[in-house]
Structure 1
Amino acid sequence: MAHVDWMIKGPELATCNCDWGCPCQFDARPTRGNCRAVVALRVDEGHFGDVRLNGVKAAAILAWPGAIHEGHGEALAIIDERADKHQREALLKILAGQETEQFATIFNVVAAMTETFHEPLFAPIEFEVDQEKRSGRVSVAGIIDVKSEPIRNPVTGEEHRAKVVLPHGFEYIEAEFASSTAKTTGTIENEWTGRHAHFCMLHMGPNGIIH
């Protein structure tokens, strides 16, 4: 089946309610039995057909009652309000896993495991990341407040660096793991401190990760 030619490349900050390291990254069950996540990205280079996506930002709040692969999830997508009509439509299709080979991207996997898609929002998104320093911030006024920092040794307080490689991943090949504090309000509410985060550079298209 032919898909629309699309590509996105840019940084992502993903956070969830699992302990540092997130066992879901290694096909184990989530730390607390359920999965709740806040994810944000910026497209530095990208297109969807003839629509340029450079500079567009997006975020999502996600929740599942159990492990992601057991389904029954809910999702709220947020697109930066500076995106025009065509960019909004294009990015929402990518985030919904459309125009993509089955299970080839994290977006397609998440969409397949989600049964409730809330009406998307369009609002200013503040997105700052430094993958090398494992430091980041995501803010959508009144909806999302996320901060990430390096994991620290509980005895010495020294920064603890963990870089993970997943050669056959559908979200990233390499990521820096970190610690997150998050609070979301409204449609899907979350709140945690000192939980999992990871930074990665997304580079994908309709057939999955671009190597």
Structure 2
Amino acid sequence: MTDQSWAMKGELVLSCNCTVFCPCVLSLGSHPPTEGYCQTWAGFRIDAGHFGETDLSGLNLGLIMEIPGYMSRGNWTAGLFIDKRASVYAVKALTKIFTGKAGGTTSLLSILVGKFLGVEQVPITYETRDRTRVFQIPKIIDGAVTPIPGKDREKDTVITNSEYWIAPEIIVAKSDKSKMRAFGRNWNFAGRSAEICKLDWRGP
């Protein structure tokens, strides 16, 4: 049987339409987004990863999602952007992971996502400039997210020991700029909620 095990380590940056820090993180989906619905994009940087024997290291991804109300109630809409540098095998593997079909950390996506808009393979950059994460997909996403400093101005504000499915530690952040135009959507979330998390996902 072909090896279906997978893992990835790296970082994720997420920008959404919530006016204050996303209540879905703290409530684990039992509280609605501040606007009553969620529109969000996320950028992924895979520092090290594999699906079976397929290497995923060094690739970037983008994901957009719309959630009509409580996160835990499902009926999400999602669309995926995969690094232009990815091989045919990597595209198939990442599509399987990010639709939840590969099991493991992302398995809940197979339950919560009711409509999948498809996959586009495009150039993607994910950079760290000082503390700011800059995520760009030409003509699609133009984002810059900066952590919110704590009482010690040299340190980020961090939520720790969380049961949040993405990661147990979440850096509280804000979008300096956040534009997304794709799949018939046109969003601008500048000044709104954002988060940064370490990726340490695996399956099945």
Letter in 2 for 1:42: R
CA distance in 2 between counterparts of 1:168 and 1:9 reads 18
Inter-partner Cα distance in structure 2 for 1:145 and 1:115: 26
Q: Secondary structure at the match of 2:142?
A: strand
Matched, 1:169 2:168: no
Gaps of 5+ in 2: none
Question: Between the two proteins, what is the percent identity of the paired residues?
Answer: 29
- 1:49 is matched with which residue: 49, 52, 73? 52
CA 1:57/1:66 → structure 2, altered by over 3 Å: closer, same or farther?
same
- Matches for 1:88-127 after TM superposition, within 5 Å: 88-101=91-104, 105=105, 107-127=106-126
Aligned-partner SS, 2:144: strand
| Range with bigger deviation, 32-41 or 191-200 | 191-200
- Say whether the 8 Å CA contact 2:135–2:143 is kept in structure 1: yes
Amino acid in structure 2 at the alignment position of 1:12: L
> Which stretch shifts more, 190-199 or 163-172?
163-172
Moved over 4 A (4+): none
Tell me how far 1:206 sits from its aligned partner.
1.1
**Which of the numbers 145, 169, 173 marks the counterpart of 1:178?**
173
CA distance in 2, matches of 1:138, 1:53: 19
For 2:155 and 2:192, the matched residues in 1 are separated by: 14
Aligned residues: 196
Q: Matched residue of 1:69: which SS?
A: helix
Q: Is structure 2 residue 144 aligned with structure 1 residue 144? A: no
> Normalising by the residue count of structure 1, what TM-score does the alignment of the two structures yield?
0.84
Contact 2:139 2:181 in 1 (8 A): yes
Shift of 1:192: 1.6
| 1:110-129 Cα deviation digits (max 9, x unpaired) | 34222111121000001113
Verify the 8 A CA contact 1:11 1:129 in the aligned structure 2.
no
Structure 1: runs of 5 or more not aligned: none
1:150/1:179 contact within 8 Å kept: yes
TM-score between the two structures when normalised by the length of structure 2: 0.87
Distance 1:30 1:47 in 2: 33
Contact 1:79 1:120 in 2 (8 A): yes
